[in-house]
Every structure is written in structure tokens, then in C-alpha cells.
Amino acid sequence: MTGAAGGPADRSGYGDGTRCVHAGLPEPVPGEPFLPGPVFAAPYHLDPAAGPEATPNGYGRPDNPTRRGLEAAIGELEGGDCLAFASGQAAITAVLLSVLRPGDTVLLPADGYFPVRAFATQTLEGIGVRVDFVPTAGPYPALDGVRLVLVETPANPGLDVCDVAELAARARAAGALLAVDNTAATPLGQQPLDLGADLVVASGTKALTGHSDLLLGYVASRNTELLATVRAWRTTTGSIPGAFDAWLAHRSLATLDLRLARQSANAAAVAAAMRDRRDVSGVRWPGLPDDPAYPVASRQLRRMPGIVSFDLGDAGRVARFLAASRLVFAATSFGGLHTSADRRAQWGDDVSAGFVRFSCGVEDTADLLADLHAALDAAGGR
């Protein structure tokens, strides 16, 4: 891993907050800004004699110093080298299409992000890739003959968790690759590469950047050859983030530790409060001691996500709840500063009509709980 200026960046001995604030920053130079501004460029000046070999920048699709600074920062937090993409979906599909070939088998989460499953059945199967699905919590079949296993843990939206270290060992023994979608946990909540995963994929749109103002994805790995394959795919297809989005994302990383701390604390309070209400069912949060995911989550996650799921019975009650709330926004995506809720059945997820994915923001916990209870009371019974 290298810093944005190209020098070594070993901050492994520091705490999460310090690492987030300093991740990917260039060496201090008097008169230069802490975080350099975005570089807006398509072509760059080339050396007339040596050509592109004389400079790291030749053309904006493969080269941009702002994007490299962001990649250095995320790489420091994930513990590997990083490639940034235009969205999380772009990052995941880049891995699937660069790694898989006709005749290969891929194992995907049956309860994970719906667009990934749709892409698999609509595109991967169409080019001759065998696609099998398994619930995040397992049980997992024998992995002999499988080329790639992709897991999303905690799963979106159901919040189940799988044992990454155990699955990584099984994949390695079978000659398969393991990719972990780290969107919900973020690199501060979970370190898949340390647990044995070959690849990390994630949407940076959500909790990683947390301000609900950009789209971003990334792939991280310690396998140089594997990452080079993904990089070549990105260069050819052009699925890169713009310079300003990369700059916004890097700026946002500095507060990641602070944001996650409040979001996780709010999620703990919301989960406990929802468990005490008779008009709410199916409460899930991996941090609850009696949650099915808790045994694995409590030893694997460094911090619990700011997402809670529960069921309000039907679509009408969800709509009344959201209309009555003064603090909870009706919105898809999750992980932002503002608390939001999403009725996932409207997007095609295989959940009940009243299932709610509740994303805790950074509001004061007492205010959030008071608003939540008032809105549920106003929504009426099931």
C-alpha cells in the first residue's frame, strides 16, 4: 500500500479514528492543502520523447491522481490495494465478468443485494456461467468445481452473517476464490482480507462515505495478479468514478469512525426498542445477543452496523409510519447521516410486504427513539 504521494503509508498501529483522518493523504508540504483538490483532466501533457512512460498520468480513464488518493485511503482501511469504480454494482460486475468464464460456476447469496442476483440470471447464465444461490447463513455446499464464491455479510437486507474465515478456508482447499461484499460492515466493521478472502467488493455510496451525495464502488485485494485482471477490465470498460466524486469520497472518509459510532449506538437502541413493542415483529440486528447472527457477528465484526430490520405487517402501515415520522426519511440506500427506512418488497426483494430496512443516522438517540415511537403509534395497529 502506498500513500497518495506514492510513499509508504503504514498506520496499522493507530486507532480507527486516526487512520480515517489521515488515510491516503500526501506527505505535508508547506503551502499545500491537507487534501488536494480534484484534478479535472481527460488528457495530460506527455513527454514528447518518452511518451506515457515518463509520467503516471496519460489519459483520464486509467489515470487520475485524485482517484489514486482515494484508492490509497480505502486500501489503507481495507488492508490491501484498491480500485475505485463508478458504483458498487460496477465494482461487483467487474469482478464477476473479469474472473468468470463460460463453464465456470459461481456461488452467490440467495438473500443478498437483488440487482446482483438479477445480473447473474440475466447476464452470467446467458454467457454460459453456472449460477448457484445459497443463503448467507448457509449451509454451504461442497465447493469443488466452484470458481468464485461471493458473499454479502452482513446481508442486505436481512442482516444474516456468514463465517468468512471458515468459508475462506473451504474455498482455498477447493481451489475457489472468495469475494466478500463489505458494504454494510465497512472496513472499520470487518476485515475480510485478514479473514482470508481473496477480494473485497463494496458500495462506497452508503456508510463508507455517508453523506448521500455520491455514487462509488471499489474492489480491494492483496492478490496482485487478480487485481491486475480487474484493473484491465476497468480500463477497457471505463467504469470509473469522476474526479469530484473521488474527492468527495476521500473527504468523507475522515469522519467514518465518528459516524459509525453514532449509527451503531442508535441501531442498538432502536433494535432494543423495537423488540419491546408488541406491534413490531421480526426484529433483526446482529448485535442482539439472541439474534441468529450474533454468535458469528460477535467474534467477526469489529463493530455492528447501523442497520436494523423489522416488520410492520403490511405496506399501508409502513406508509403511515413514514408519513407520521418527522426524522425518518423514506429512501432507498442506507448508511447516510440521516435516518431512513425502505420497504424492500417494492424493489423486488423476497421479503414480506411490511418488511422495513431501517438505516440509523447520526441524530441524537433520544430524539430518534421518541420520533420512532410516536410515528409507530400514529400508524395504528397491524
Cell numbers describing residue 85: 469504480
Q: Identify the pLDDT of residue 2.
A: 41
Residues 142 and 282 reside in one and the same domain: no
Query: Which has the closest alpha carbon to 199: 301, 87, 82, 106?
Result: 82
Q: Over 70: is that where the pLDDT of 327 sits?
A: yes
Percentage of the chain surpassing pLDDT 70?
A: 97
Q: Give me the pLDDT at residue 349, please.
A: 87
User: Does pLDDT of 290 surpass 70?
Assistant: yes
Q: Do 169 and 128 share a structural domain?
A: yes
Domain boundary among 253, 286, 310: 253
Whole-Å CA distances, 178 to 77, 80, 107, 203: 19, 15, 10, 17
Contact between residue 108 and residue 132 where contact means Cβ atoms under 8 Å apart: yes
- Cα–Cα–Cα angle for 249, 236, 212, rounded to 5 degrees: 20
- Unique residue bearing C-alpha cell 475480510: 192
Residues 224 and 318 in one domain: no
Q: What is the mean pLDDT of residues 66-92?
A: 98
Range 372-376 average pLDDT: 98
Q: How far apart are CA 312 and CA 307, in angstroms?
A: 16
Q: Taking residues 160-168, what's their average pLDDT? A: 98
- The answer to whether residue 10 sits within a structural domain is no
Look over the chain and give the mean of its residue pLDDT values, rounded to a whole number: 95
**7 domain residue, yes or no:** no
**How many domains is the chain built from?**
2
Angle, alpha carbons 107-229-10 (nearest 5°)? 100
Mark whether 340 and 366 lie in a shared domain: yes
- Report pLDDT for 51: 87
Instruction: State the CATH number of the domain containing residue 61.
Output: 3.40.640.10
Domain assignment of residue 323, yes or no: yes
Give me the torsion for CA of 7, 11, 12, 13, rounded to 10°: 140
- Per-residue model confidence (pLDDT) at position 9: 54
87 and 215 inside one domain: yes
Residue 12 confidence (pLDDT): 73
Per-residue pLDDT, 381: 76
| For residue 62, pLDDT beyond 70 | yes
Residue 5 lies inside a defined structural domain of this protein? no
From start to end of the chain, where are the E strands?
Answer: 81-85, 105-109, 130-134, 148-152, 177-181, 199-203, 217-221, 281-284, 307-311, 329-330, 340-343, 355-359
pLDDT band at 382 (very low <50, low <70, confident <90, very high): low
Are residue 337 and residue 375 in the same domain, yes or no?
yes
The band of 8, judged by pLDDT with boundaries at 50, 70 and 90, is very low
DSSP 148-215: EEEEESS-TTT-----HHHHHHHHHHHT-EEEEE-TTTHHHH--TTTTT-SEEEEETTTTTT-SS---
Over 90: is that where the pLDDT of 363 sits?
yes
Q: What is the mean pLDDT of residues 339-357?
A: 95
Q: Do 92 and 45 share a structural domain?
A: yes
**Residue 56 placed within a domain:** yes
Question: Within this chain, do residues 233 and 109 fall inside the same structural domain, yes or no?
Answer: yes
CA distance 41 to 63: 9
- Three-state DSSP at 256 gives helix
pLDDT-above-90 percentage for the chain: 92
Residue 29 lies in a domain: yes
- For residue 52, name the pLDDT band (cuts at 50, 70, 90): confident
Are 149 and 262 within one domain? no
Tell me whether residue 8 is in a domain: no
Answer yes or no: do 305 and 357 share one domain: yes
pLDDT tens by residue, 91-126: 999 999 999 999 999 999 999 899 999 999 999 999
Instruction: Check whether 10 has a pLDDT greater than 70.
Output: no
The answer to whether residues 47 and 185 belong to one domain is yes
Q: Would you say residue 4 lies in a domain?
A: no
Q: Write down the pLDDT at residue 221.
A: 98
Domain boundary among 218, 253, 288: 253
Lowest model confidence (mean pLDDT) among 23-27, 142-146, 315-319 = 23-27
Residues 243-259, mean pLDDT to the nearest whole number: 98
pTM for the model: 0.94
Handedness of CA 230, 232, 233, 239 (dihedral sign): positive
Q: How confident is the model at residue 53 (pLDDT cuts 50, 70, 90)?
A: confident
Instruction: For residue 222, give its domain range.
Output: 16-253
Last residue of a domain, one of 203, 234, 253: 253
Give the 3-state secondary structure of residue 371: helix
**Domain match, 62 and 207 both:** yes
Burial of 346 (0-12, 13-18, 19+ CB in 10 A): exposed
pLDDT, tens only, 189-205: 999 999 999 999 999 99
CA–CA distance, 184 with 206 (Å, rounded to integer): 8
The pLDDT confidence band at residue 6, using thresholds 50, 70 and 90, is very low
Cβ contact 340:263 at 8 Å: no
